[in-house]
């Protein structure tokens, strides 16, 4: 599995598409409903999945652990929401923590971890 992380609009999706040859129609983007198409070769917006989990009382790391065989060959994209001011609201703080725990878990499982910043890829692992 390859994990791509970075802030909003830093080129994560474009990098995944060009570097791994993934067409746009093969990228599944997580939404508010919390569902994931585990068969997609690229799953983007994992921070949104984490937010859905917070809102419904689920643990995103436990969900990913239980589906490991489904995403072990995928490219995963997670927006970094850990920088900046700590959110005032409890739900947003929980989201930030859940997203961070999910990213840390996935980074540990990943073959490669790439951080995107200003359109530049930085290999972390």
Tens-place pLDDT, residues 13-30: 999 999 999 999 999 999
Q: Examine the pLDDT at 83 and tell me if it is beyond 90.
A: no
Q: How many CB atoms lie within 10 A of CB 112?
A: 14
In angstroms, the first-to-last Cα distance of the chain is 12
The token duo for 114 is 């790439």
The least confident of 87-91, 95-99, 111-115 is 87-91
Q: Examine the pLDDT at 49 and tell me if it is beyond 90.
A: yes
SS3 24: helix
Determine the pLDDT at residue 84.
80
d(CA 103, CA 86): 18
User: Domains along the chain?
Assistant: 2-123 (3.40.50.300)
User: Angle between the 46-56 and 90-109 helix axes, to the nearest 10 degrees?
Assistant: 130
- Average pLDDT, rounded, for the chain: 96
């Amino acid at each position: 599995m390859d994990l791509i992380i970075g802030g909003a609009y830093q080129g994560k999706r474009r990098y995944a598409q060009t570097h791994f040859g993934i067409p746009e129609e093969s990228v599944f983007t997580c939404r508010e409903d919390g569902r994931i198409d585990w068969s997609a070769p690229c799953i983007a917006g994992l921070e949104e999945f984490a937010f859905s989990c917070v809102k419904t009382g689920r643990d995103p790391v436990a969900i990913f652990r239980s589906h490991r065989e489904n995403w072990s060959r995928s490219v995963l994209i997670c927006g970094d929401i850990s920088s900046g001011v700590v959110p005032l609201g409890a739900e947003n703080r929980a989201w930030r923590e859940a997203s961070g725990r999910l990213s840390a878990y996935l980074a540990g499982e990943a073959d490669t971890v790439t951080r995107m910043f200003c359109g530049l890829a930085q290999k972390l692992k």
